[in-house]
């Protein structure tokens, strides 16, 4: 065998190609093997890992393993030196700023819970409408034990400046994750004729829903770490006509374009920017859209999975996008909508 037995301290992953047919095999080189082993808290002791077909065999020590047993062995060895499992999505030691939580129906609330579950330290910004609103958000987010809790109206430069100062003083000038869940349009602009959208309504929707991503990014830019990640929320109305979505569709289109431009500009510094296009969920914001419940029922009836999505599903996707598990993804819009976006003509049963 090409792979010699190695001591188990520290853990080693030992792969061999001795039992792999040469024809049709695809090799994952030493660098990739080492990278994967490092991700599992182990070491790679050979030059290649071959995964051609069901005849693949791995070598752990001196005993060859068939594919199923090999996979089981790898999972068992995916531990750190302390012997505890290392999760694929690991946000421990990361500081995550979450914007846009209005109540327990907010998508931002679902995202914050998923980030906390993955180990992130949470910071919350809230729209300072009244003392009652502040008290409500404090009470809701208390289980997340936020270490940063700041008022933020992205249309006010003084609030953005204060956010930066709070990050510097309370978080030691470190931000690893930014979750942008800010959007608003006048209710009158979310029903009826799109052509009748006023200049004021147009500017309000695009400023709050799209330009705020730039404003927020500028405010936290001095504190973003080398591998920081930014995630924002979009919707299908950015690229397809959705009844009554109107000017918000324009705003979300601008948001998605901004995601790409920011990803390009910040990428050389190791900072990633992505968007999640979530299926319709009944939230405080979506309730302003005419016919939202009809829209939700339509998705349930024609999407491939025959259901809408939950806050948790969107939140878990966000946790993936801000983790090292998605280190190769930036500038993308990820659809979390039970597959609705792929449909051409939907037939109900």
Transcribe 193-240 into DSSP letters. -GGG--HHHHHHHHIIIIIHHHHHHHHHGGGEEEEEEEEEEE-GGGTS
Contacts of 334 (CB under 8 A, 6+ apart): 274, 275, 276, 277, 317, 321
Contact between 186 and 201 (Cβ < 8 Å):
yes
Cα distance from N-terminal residue to C-terminal residue, the chain: 57
d(CA 32, CA 251) in angstroms, rounded, equals 41
Contact between 37 and 73 (Cβ < 8 Å):
no
Contact between 233 and 275 (Cβ < 8 Å):
yes
Contact between 184 and 288 (Cβ < 8 Å):
no
Q: Longest Cα pair distance anywhere in the chain, in angstroms?
A: 75
d(CA 255, CA 231) in angstroms, rounded, equals 11
Residue of 126, 223, 235, 335 marked active site: 235
Q: Which residues pair with 231 in a beta bridge?
A: 179, 274
d(CA 39, CA 78) in angstroms, rounded, equals 8
- 235 has catalytic annotation: yes
d(CA 294, CA 236) in angstroms, rounded, equals 16
- 340 has catalytic annotation: no
- Strand 272-278 and strand 333-336: the pairing is parallel
d(CA 135, CA 149) in angstroms, rounded, equals 11
Placement of tokens 């052509």 in the chain: 195
Residue of 126, 223, 245, 335 marked active site: 245
d(CA 202, CA 48) in angstroms, rounded, equals 57
- Residue 305, CB half-sphere, CA atoms under 13 Å: how many? 12
Cα 293 to the center of its chain, rounded Å: 26
Question: What residues are labeled active site?
Answer: 235, 245
């Amino acid at each position: 065998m090409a792979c010699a037995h190695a001591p188990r301290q520290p853990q080693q992953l030992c792969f061999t190609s001795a039992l792999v047919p040469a024809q049709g095999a695809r090799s994952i080189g030493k660098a990739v093997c080492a990278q994967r082993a490092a991700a599992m808290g182990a070491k790679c002791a050979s030059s290649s890992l071959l995964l051609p077909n069901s005849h693949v065999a791995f070598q752990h020590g001196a005993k060859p393993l068939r594919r199923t047993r090999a996979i089981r062995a790898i999972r068992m060895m995916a531990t750190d030196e302390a012997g505890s499992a290392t999760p694929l999505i690991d946000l421990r030691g990361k500081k995550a700023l979450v914007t846009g939580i209005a109540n327990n129906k907010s998508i931002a609330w679902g995202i914050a819970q998923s980030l906390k579950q993955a180990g992130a330290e949470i910071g919350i910004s809230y729209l300072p409408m009244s003392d009652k609103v502040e008290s409500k958000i404090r009470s809701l987010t208390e289980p997340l034990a936020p270490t940063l809790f700041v008022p933020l109206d992205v249309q006010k430069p003084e609030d953005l400046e204060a956010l930066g100062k709070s990050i510097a003083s309370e978080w030691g000038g470190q931000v690893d994750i930014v979750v942008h869940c800010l959007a608003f349009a006048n209710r009158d602009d979310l029903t009826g004729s799109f052509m009748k959208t006023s200049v004021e309504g147009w500017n309000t929707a695009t400023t709050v829903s799209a330009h705020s991503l730039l404003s927020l990014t500028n405010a936290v830019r001095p504190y973003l770490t080398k591998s920081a990640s930014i995630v924002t929320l979009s919707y299908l109305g950015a690229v397809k006509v959705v009844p009554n979505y109107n000017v918000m569709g324009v705003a979300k289109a601008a948001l998605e374009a901004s995601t790409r431009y920011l990803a390009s500009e910040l990428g050389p510094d190791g900072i990633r920017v992505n968007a999640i296009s979530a299926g319709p969920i009944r939230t405080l914001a979506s309730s302003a859209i005419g016919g939202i419940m009809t829209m939700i029922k339509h998705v349930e009836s024609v999407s491939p999975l025959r259901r809408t999505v939950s806050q948790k599903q969107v939140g878990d996707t966000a946790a993936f996008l801000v983790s090292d598990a998605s280190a190769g993804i930036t500038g993308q819009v990820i659809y979390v909508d039970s597959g609705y976006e792929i449909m051409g003509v939907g037939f109900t049963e």
